Structure 1
Amino acid sequence: MPDPQTGPEDAQRPEAGHELVVVANRLPVDSRTLPDGATEWVTSPGGLVTAMESVMRTVDSGAWVGWAGGTGEAPSPFVADGMHLYPVPLAGHEVERYYEGFSNATLWPLYHDVIVDPEFHRTWWDDYQRVNRRFARAAAEVAAPGGIVWVHDYQLQLVPAMIRETRPDARIGFFNHIPFPPVELFSQLPKRNQILRGLLGADVLGFQREGDTLNFVAAVRKLLGYHTDGQTITVPGLGTAPSREVQARTFPISIDSQSVSDLTEDPDIQERARQLRADMGDPAKIVLGVDRLDYTKGIRHRLKAWGELLADGAIDPRDAVMIQVATPSRERVDAYRQLRDEVELTVGRINGDHAPIGRPAISYQHRSFDRRDMTALYMAADVVLVTALRDGMNLVAKEYVASRPDEQGVLVLSEFAGAADELRAALRVNPHDIDELKSSILRALAMGEDEQREAMTSLRRQVMDHDVQAWAHAFLDELESVGRDEITTRRIRLTGETPTPEAELEASLRTFAEVPRILVASDFDGVLAPIVAERDAVQADPEAIAALRDLSEMPGVAVALVSGRSLTNLDHHTRMPSSVVLVGSHGAEVGALPPWMHAEVLDSFALTMSPQKEQLLESITRALHRIASANPGTEVETKPAAAVLHTRRARGRGAGNATEAALEYALSLPDVTVTPGKEVVEFSVVDANKGVAIEALARASAADAWLYLGDDVTDETVFDQLGDDDLGIKVGPGDTGAGLRVEGTEQVRELLTHLAALRRARG
């Protein structure tokens, strides 16, 4: 695979707008440095990569978003083996905190029945959120309208909801490759509700085992209080937004069975298998364990059982040898370093006590084997031990079965591995019971060829008929069938942060300035005035304000300021003349209108408060004050029809915690419009938004076209209304429905001043 940065002939830069986007912690490629110093990208082994390769061949355009490995700046997007790859960068401290920390020292042990005590550090959670947001942003930017985004595994559990925030048009799936713990264990996680809500951003959630699915549904029901009907979860909408239905389903993952089976026909691999037995001294029996060096795999239990069988004299080390492959894993995490020391000490002790001269009792291999060598090992093994203490699936069990078209060999399989649900003809064992494990090993060693064939025939039927391609297609078929009638497409015209080229912006302004009757409207904070920590200290740019005043006095021009601030507050900070219409509280409050404007069009937007709404607003205000008191620096603002939680001045993690608490509270308010924005959450008891307000203002002023400047998510309701002749201008970075972008308030000043000059020159 070519180096995307050196630009060989077969390397391509992908185009955005993909029908299927896979999001996983790692890209499906690994980098390798060549002797000349160049970088070569090699396809990674693994079932997920194999599955996605086959699935992506069935779509017009597929993409993969993931980490390329290493730290610092990520490679540029590139195409490899027909897949469009979008690398996500990770800094060194993010690898330590997001990946090694929260993912593998907090979530992994908790999800695996607390075999090792999980650790929790708040800085780890901070980086987990930050990195999840980065993955979500990358996926949202490259998915086609109405496309499918499939997120994978425990490292990215916040990503589904984060994608849904900006891409409600996308169909989102999530698959958890590891177990999901019982609610009693999951409840120990300090950020449990945020994790659940992150996952529930998906339309379909997939789990390995039925028990995992039921555990998740139980956690949602108990911890969030959401309604569940079987495996269908009703997720309430935020405020007046409609509820959604999320499906939790069981999809046991598999392998590329036929590919593995075909390798056994290779004469070179067959010779490797024969040579391996010879290298071991041609023992009567070879017993094999293949695992990542992980405390969940039961390696210590397996070694203990084997050592006791040797000590008991039940196994003669001259007749039977054990091979233990322990692939290096997470060696910077303390628990894994400790496990390696324990395993190697145990192997050394057993070999010292029992190995005959010239042959080990246990051949320990702490390294990785390629696919061909692994297949040779499976072919040489008479017994394979899969003794996981807790495992989502364990594909070693399925690989061994697929590697035995001779229908010989015995699989000893832990009942705590997901594969045990499907591979029922295996010798099932409780690995915690060392006596039972010893008995199962002896039974496997003594099993005759006919009994082996009967069991392996059943196992192979299951593995060959249910391969990884069937798994992937089953999941995507379920995702395709869910929520078709509920999907609404939000148009994203611009992504990233690059400003519109000056020539394009100039041409658009000149065309707009020639329209006979126009409406020029703008948000306030972040557009006409830089955002500041102290809201009352805000200072509008005087030249921008002057340009708007100037425009408002010109024939055929209507001017409006549309803000989330209350009408009184907006008037205080702008001091606009009566020729400029002020709209506060996101459209719920409308100020005095110029005499020539059709006031009756705006009547429906006048502020109307019933006693019931007054009472509701008082209740919301009290609740927000309770949240603010628990998070120092957080403030509550009360408007005539709304209460607003401001987190801009919150200390430490207070902003995130307060926002989280406010959004959780919002789910209990079905008749309230809840609007999250930049460091604010607004609760309005009057249903209004800026988009509706602008549409009404355009009609009231009889405008042929309008221009709107906005920087916040609340301004997207305006950009969604853009007609062919209208101009939507996003101020600052982020995905947007606007067609143009400027960098900040300084550029807004220049734009408005220039527009005023163009309009004046028109005469």
Structure 2
Amino acid sequence: MHSPESRTYRLVVVSNRLPVDSHVGADGAVVWTRSPGGLVTALESVTRGAECAWVGWPGSPDLELEPFDEDGMRLVPVSLTDDDVERYYEGFSNASVWPLYHDVIAVPSYHREWWERYVAVNRRFAEAAAAVAAEGATVWVQDYQLQLVPRMLRELRPDLAIGFFLHIPFPPYGLFSQLPWRQRIVEGLLGADVVGFQRVGDAANFATAVRRLTDTVVRAQHRGTQIEVADAPGRRRVVHARAFPISIDTASLEALARTPEVRARAREIRESLGPDRTLLLGVDRLDYTKGILHRLKAYQELLEDGSIEVDDAALIQIAVPSRERVAAYAQLRDEVELMAGRINGDFQTLKHRAVSYHYHAYPREEMAAMFLAADVLLVTALRDGMNLVAKEYVACRTDEDGVLVLSEFTGAADELRRAVLVNPHDIAGLKEAMLRAMRMPRQERRSRMRAMRRRVAEHDVARWSSEFLEALEQAADMSRADGDGASQLPGDARYSREAGRPDAREDRPDGSSEGASPGMSSTELLSDASEDAEPDRRLDLDTPPRWSRLPESLLAALREFARKPRVLVALDFDGTLAPEVDDPAKARALPEARAAVLRLAAMPRTRVALVSGRSVADLEAVAADFPDSVLLVGSHGAEIRLDEETTFEPLDEGEQYELATLGQILGDVADRHEAIWLERKPVGFALHTRLATAENGRLARLVALQEVGEAIDPDDVLVRDGRTTLEFAIRGTTKGEALEHLRQATGADAVMYAGDDVTDEDGFAALGPDDVGLKSGEGRTLANFRVKGPAEVSLAIARLADFREGDVHEQ
């Protein structure tokens, strides 16, 4: 064992490997060089020039080394024996945790002797870090091999600020629960002040595991989760769990890609493979999670069906050696090389190979040249925490050209939304994506690449590390100050995400039914009416020309409805009384609609209600000029205001947690997609896509559905999918239930309901034979009558007021 380190450091990084590799020089001396790994690159901006020590294994078994300095950083080696490597690293870390955390693409193995060695080695790392950390220092523990270190370190050094970052996915509880030592892993991670993940869904999965396996208090916040833990009797500490998507040193890669040497090398690569061929590139560590075989299969089928020719296209596959001592990886190498060889045997010509396969790593300069040379980068991972190769490709494309085909199962897909996103399990879809990328027009390529380059430039590795360390500093300060768990998560923000509209409100909770028509404008239809005009009560009861646009059958039904002793007229607001507008806060009922509502509300034995997906508070704002006698139903029935008294059953603890989890997931989705904004509701959230492009709106919906589905039990959340909104609610109330409640509360003999949206179909379904259902706009409906839009709804309720006024006076 090496002797204890006498120096201490303000920042200590702990990872399985030291950031260096060793080789023997010409003089027989050991020479250390910086490792090419993504973690080393990611942390370089933090460790460069800092008072920093890095604790890790030097990479060779049974190597006893004293701490040493390299490239301005103190390296503290942790020695591992051959048996340690076999059981802790190749065993528990890579044959148990790795496949389990990657959706069980390969079957995990669980052995007690592996676990016992994992515990022992984690303790060794914790002790080494404790020995070199200064009083109150920051210790940043990295990745799945060291998940027990935070708790061990907390027990050894409670004065430290401890952070942990998981670079790979954290699985859903249904998978994680099969791990025999699941509770020990969770408790180990809870030793940290901040636990960071690549994706919001990963953080939510962890929070679910904590709730299921421990007695701690879990509070979901907008940007993460707060977890109260007891370090000692009477001493509580708050652990913050949230997403911190890792990134790259964008500026460095851009500068490298602009050098004359790299540009010249890129031209050489293209010339050697055929300057007129479309070059597809795959760069992966040789691992079963990377989807290399899926990529080769799709490429093979494109050649087989004649969609592409070898003389027109080439696939370059870089397979970086990985875990060569593990049998499964050796088998994967055999399968990949056999398939690449078969494709070449079947399709190569005297002039060109179909697949250029390379089983080794390349220096950064060569990779930058390959990125510049490649027309298309294929990232087809079956599950990946982030995938920095995708970001590196984007950073190197200073020419704003090239197409990224990106698996939706990578963390990078959350950020690089202008990539061509694919499900790599869908070979037919993957083939289509590859062809689309190869044939994409220059203008579209440039537009997509520009957007992605802005993203990686703004969210680089320096921002990743600084945001994590700032959150860690704040969390540790809070715990040191009082430990009462009442503080808010660092970086918490309001729910409204649209730039320039922090308080933007919803105009329609779930979008409109397909092809909905806004109808004629009020100026076209109502030239004799103004918003402030007194309602005209001297209308001719013989049908004038303007009623002719209403079906005769509807007029007859309204006349019959008006004769009922006690009636309820329930109306949706947006798209029914009010035309759709871009700014929901500016939505107002058409003047004639307002006038008709005022007339109906003033009649005896006649109640009017607004039934909306908006909150009651929102309805009160947009319908402020309606009388107080108008009943209000908000959030699809979750809120009901009857005669100035609003009823709302408070959320229980589980519902509060799920609501906050929804907020943090959907808020992050809105952050990542341009012109998408989020509205909070009493029992859920509405993701608005009205102002986004069709593609951006579609992508935001897909991401939201996927990430919510990963984090929350589908049985616990109701999804309402409209044309321009996607709403998630943790309480399944409907407008149909609300109408039944209103019918009972008002004692109505008959109900009329008018609405335009798919959510209004629940209301129509609740109507009986004496009731009237009126659909505003197009789309399939259960309503027995339909009109064009809000202008015609206004005519209908005005005509109802005419009929009702005469019949009421006769009663």
- Offset, 1:229: 0.6
Report the residue type matching 1:145 in the other structure. E
Given candidates 423, 429, 433, the residue that maps to 1:436 is: 429
| 1:399 maps to 2:399 | no
Given candidates 257, 272, 281, the residue that maps to 1:279 is: 272
- Offset, 1:53: 3.1
Separation in 2, partners of 1:420, 1:192: 28
Given candidates 354, 376, 386, the residue that maps to 2:347 is: 354
| SS of match in other structure, 2:158 | coil
What's 1:263 paired with? 256
- Offset, 1:45: 2.3
- Offset, 1:485: 4.8
Contact 2:45–2:461, Cα closer than 8 Å, also in 1: no
What's 2:360 paired with? 367
| 1:118 maps to 2:108 | yes
Given candidates 14, 19, 38, the residue that maps to 2:10 is: 19
What's 1:232 paired with? 225
Contact 2:231–2:237, Cα closer than 8 Å, also in 1: no
Given candidates 8, 13, 24, the residue that maps to 1:33 is: 24
Distance 1:436 1:264, change over 3 A: same
Separation in 2, partners of 1:119, 1:19: 39
CA offsets, 1:339-377, max 9 Å, x none? 111111111111111111232101111111110100111
- Offset, 1:225: 3.7
Distance 1:247 1:310, change over 3 A: same
Given candidates 126, 131, 134, the residue that maps to 1:136 is: 126
What's 1:45 paired with? 36
Q: Which has the larger displacement, 221-230 or 390-399?
A: 221-230
Given candidates 431, 438, 442, the residue that maps to 1:445 is: 438
What's 1:201 paired with? 191
What's 1:166 paired with? 156
| SS of match in other structure, 2:11 | strand
CA offsets, 1:619-676, max 9 Å, x none? xxxxxxxxxxxxxxxxxxxxxxxxxxxxxxxxxxxxxxxxxxxxxxxxxxxxxxxxxx
- Offset, 1:236: 3.6
| SS of match in other structure, 1:181 | coil
Contact 2:279–2:374, Cα closer than 8 Å, also in 1: yes
Equivalent pairs, count: 477
| SS of match in other structure, 1:202 | coil
| 1:484 maps to 2:477 | yes
Separation in 1, partners of 2:21, 2:234: 43
What's 2:241 paired with? 248
Report the residue type matching 1:127 in the other structure. R
CA offsets, 1:383-442, max 9 Å, x none? 000010000000010000001010000000000000000001100111110010000000
| SS of match in other structure, 1:96 | helix
Contact 1:19–1:143, Cα closer than 8 Å, also in 2: yes
| 1:409 maps to 2:399 | no
Separation in 1, partners of 2:231, 2:32: 44
Separation in 2, partners of 1:39, 1:238: 44
What's 1:67 paired with? 57
Report the residue type matching 2:397 in the other structure. R
| SS of match in other structure, 1:22 | strand
Separation in 2, partners of 1:112, 1:320: 32
Report the residue type matching 1:355 in the other structure. Q
| SS of match in other structure, 2:174 | helix
Distance 1:74 1:112, change over 3 A: same
Contact 1:391–1:417, Cα closer than 8 Å, also in 2: yes
- Offset, 1:15: 4.7
Q: Which has the larger displacement, 354-363 or 371-380?
A: 354-363
What's 1:460 paired with? 453
Contact 1:180–1:213, Cα closer than 8 Å, also in 2: yes
- Offset, 1:483: 3.2
- Offset, 1:240: 2.0
Contact 1:232–1:245, Cα closer than 8 Å, also in 2: no
| 1:153 maps to 2:143 | yes
Contact 1:109–1:117, Cα closer than 8 Å, also in 2: yes
Contact 2:377–2:393, Cα closer than 8 Å, also in 1: yes
Separation in 2, partners of 1:58, 1:344: 43
Separation in 2, partners of 1:47, 1:292: 11
CA offsets, 1:667-696, max 9 Å, x none? xxxxxxxxxxxxxxxxxxxxxxxxxxxxxx
Return structure 1 stretches of 4+ with deviation > 4 angstroms: none
Separation in 2, partners of 1:275, 1:127: 49
- Offset, 1:166: 1.1
Separation in 1, partners of 2:290, 2:42: 24
What's 1:345 paired with? 338
Separation in 1, partners of 2:289, 2:160: 36
Contact 1:386–1:413, Cα closer than 8 Å, also in 2: yes
Distance 1:449 1:239, change over 3 A: closer
What's 2:209 paired with? 219
Report the residue type matching 1:296 in the other structure. T
What's 1:722 paired with? none
| SS of match in other structure, 1:482 | helix
Gaps in structure 1 of 5+ consecutive residues: 6-12, 490-763
- Offset, 1:488: 9.0
Report the residue type matching 1:314 in the other structure. S
Separation in 2, partners of 1:74, 1:359: 50
What's 2:729 paired with? none
| 1:314 maps to 2:307 | yes
Separation in 1, partners of 2:434, 2:269: 21
Gaps in structure 2 of 5+ consecutive residues: 483-811
| 1:76 maps to 2:66 | yes
Separation in 1, partners of 2:278, 2:478: 59
What's 1:719 paired with? none
Contact 2:190–2:229, Cα closer than 8 Å, also in 1: no
What's 1:294 paired with? 287
- Offset, 1:486: 3.4
- Offset, 1:14: 7.0
Contact 1:321–1:360, Cα closer than 8 Å, also in 2: yes
Pairing 1:459-538 to 2, within 5 Å after superposition: 459-487=452-480
CA offsets, 1:694-752, max 9 Å, x none? xxxxxxxxxxxxxxxxxxxxxxxxxxxxxxxxxxxxxxxxxxxxxxxxxxxxxxxxxxx
| 1:56 maps to 2:47 | yes
| SS of match in other structure, 2:75 | strand
| SS of match in other structure, 1:74 | coil
Separation in 2, partners of 1:89, 1:29: 15
Separation in 2, partners of 1:395, 1:485: 33
- Offset, 1:57: 4.5
Separation in 2, partners of 1:14, 1:324: 44
Separation in 2, partners of 1:282, 1:83: 44
RMSD: 1.7
Contact 2:42–2:246, Cα closer than 8 Å, also in 1: no
Report the residue type matching 1:53 in the other structure. E
Please report the TM-score for the alignment, with normalisation by the length of structure 2: 0.58
Separation in 2, partners of 1:362, 1:485: 56
What's 1:418 paired with? 411
Contact 2:402–2:445, Cα closer than 8 Å, also in 1: yes
What's 1:598 paired with? none
Contact 1:68–1:74, Cα closer than 8 Å, also in 2: no
Report the residue type matching 1:481 in the other structure. Q
CA offsets, 1:168-209, max 9 Å, x none? 000000000000000000001111000000000000000000
